[in-house]
Structure 1
């Protein structure tokens, strides 16, 4: 039984040894580019969140400005009504005083003209405020609609990622308690698989049970073509002591991530452009390296699923 396991490992090692330096460098270059793209997506996600908060702040300010303008309009309307009532009283007085002396009539006429001028000015100011109020209301409604649309898209993305997380959890339920976890945070889905499920010590050849887990994960990913998939390899901080093709923990973590990508690429429903393999070595631990249990948790593969943000970016550009 041992000989049957050793022969495939030796054969795989001989095949990987035949990879030319040029191909390996090309893969490394592609990895760096994809890593930068992943960082860009993460930065864009932070920028989108900040933009949403700024838009909500602007919306509150606009609402306050709208309320102040409405109060000003109401005050002008009350002033207008008071002036009109005063004008009506003076008109009545004018009619009564029409029979009096021409001097008294002249004074009343002058006062009446002044009040009419004030009334006209108030009417013009009220019309201007009504126009400004209508414009502010229109802008407020447009901003509110864009914010609502942005919130709807973000909510749909979160709901889609939650459904994806639930689908992955259901697909990988057979591996619960075997070093596999699935969680959703910051708008992404994280699948963590400890190396005990996937690899033998110092090896990047995926075992039978680990392959089955990756294939079941691939079946779910093939039904979600708009998801970016980052596969990260991680090790503990114990220096690699083997010999041969590996130069250290970073090299080992990269080869393990690439091995997972190779299995996922066997599923033709997954777009290879959505796949990124990255080696993190021992530089992103999730537990202490001072205990065997902590080191076991740090030796892992993390699959990070990120939704595409094109629609949200377009909404922000429209705003």
Structure 2
């Protein structure tokens, strides 16, 4: 009987031992599976945390780039404004330079024309007066003005303002030239030396003598050679504009100053403005 009881107890213990080992194995397997899941979840969590950190970094970088981009846009706007103003100022400067250049070209063209006309006038005068002694008549151009200087010994007797017959021949040739140049005006200037004039009922001093000689020449040109009196001016310069400090005879002279009309000179400029090459 004892043997039977002991046998049953042994079988029971054996069976109990087998069941416990199997459950343990199962539990151990589940624990391993759970640990694997936990490890996998941990890896995924770390990955998510890392991605979240990178996202935050990217968002910060994106915000920084947006701010820089806006600043660049603002700067571009300012630069565009400055560039527009600079271009406008540059255009104004260029326009001013073009206007100045145009004005200079017009003036140069007018001066060139005036010089050409003066050269033609000088050639005409020398052509008609070329057979006379250079000591008696001198033709020159100074600062765009033509001067015809005639010595008093050719025009007048000493101390007189009456024009000689020989002088009338010379004045007639001068009148022929100036009559062919209606766009010019001229002034007749009387000049004396420093010797005091002995006054009389008509002439008081060298001022009077220089003026009387100028008016005598103007009357001859008007009355005998048909020069338009509106184109002439008579003036006396007395002794105060000498051409020589030693030779008084050279200072006694009558000078015809040929001047282009001011309106004619401006007409030259206006004509230059119409030049297609300038416009």
Tell me the TM-score normalised to structure 2 length: 0.69
Structure 1 residues 255 and 312, CA gap change in structure 2 (3 angstroms) = closer
Cα separation, 1, equivalents of 2:55 and 2:219: 104
Is 1:295 matched up with 2:248? Answer: yes
Cα separation, 1, equivalents of 2:149 and 2:200: 28
Cα separation, 1, equivalents of 2:68 and 2:127: 86
Deviation at 1:194, TM superposition (A): 0.8
Query: What stretches of structure 2 of length at least 5 have no aligned partner?
Result: 1-53, 271-279
Structure-1 residue corresponding to 2:11: none
**What do the CA deviations read for 1:191-217 (whole angstroms, capped 9, x no partner)?**
111111111122222222211111100
Structure-1 residue corresponding to 2:163: 206
Given that 1:235 and 1:298 are in contact with CA atoms closer than 8 Å, whether structure 2 keeps it comes out as yes
Cα separation, 1, equivalents of 2:78 and 2:148: 70
**What do the CA deviations read for 1:150-203 (whole angstroms, capped 9, x no partner)?**
221122222222221221122111213351111000211111111111111222
Structure-1 residue corresponding to 2:86: 129
Q: Secondary structure at the match of 2:225?
A: coil
Cα separation, 1, equivalents of 2:260 and 2:174: 16
- The aligned runs of 1:124-273 (5 Å cut-off) are 124-241=81-198, 243=200, 245-265=202-222, 266-268=224-226, 270-273=227-230
**What do the CA deviations read for 1:207-247 (whole angstroms, capped 9, x no partner)?**
22211111100110011122221111122222234755333
Deviation at 1:110, TM superposition (A): 1.8
Given that 2:211 and 2:234 are in contact with CA atoms closer than 8 Å, whether structure 1 keeps it comes out as yes
Aligned residues: 216
Cα separation, 2, equivalents of 1:98 and 1:280: 103
Tell me the TM-score normalised to structure 1 length: 0.61
Cα separation, 2, equivalents of 1:203 and 1:98: 118
Q: Secondary structure at the match of 2:139?
A: strand
Aligned partner (choices 285, 300, 309) of residue 262 of structure 2: 309
Query: What stretches of structure 1 of length at least 5 have no aligned partner?
Result: 1-96
Aligned partner (choices 222, 238, 244) of residue 281 of structure 1: 238
- The aligned runs of 1:76-87 (5 Å cut-off) are none
**What do the CA deviations read for 1:277-310 (whole angstroms, capped 9, x no partner)?**
1222222222235xxxx12111111111111223
Cα separation, 2, equivalents of 1:120 and 1:229: 66
Cα separation, 1, equivalents of 2:80 and 2:207: 77
Measured on the aligned residues, the alpha-carbon RMSD in Å equals: 2.7
Structure-2 residue corresponding to 1:29: none
Greater displacement, 109-118 / 218-227: 109-118
Structure 1 residues 123 and 281, CA gap change in structure 2 (3 angstroms) = closer
**What do the CA deviations read for 1:44-70 (whole angstroms, capped 9, x no partner)?**
xxxxxxxxxxxxxxxxxxxxxxxxxxx
Deviation at 1:260, TM superposition (A): 0.8
> Of the two, which has the highest radius of gyration?
2
Deviation at 1:149, TM superposition (A): 0.8
Q: Secondary structure at the match of 1:174?
A: coil
Structure-2 residue corresponding to 1:86: none
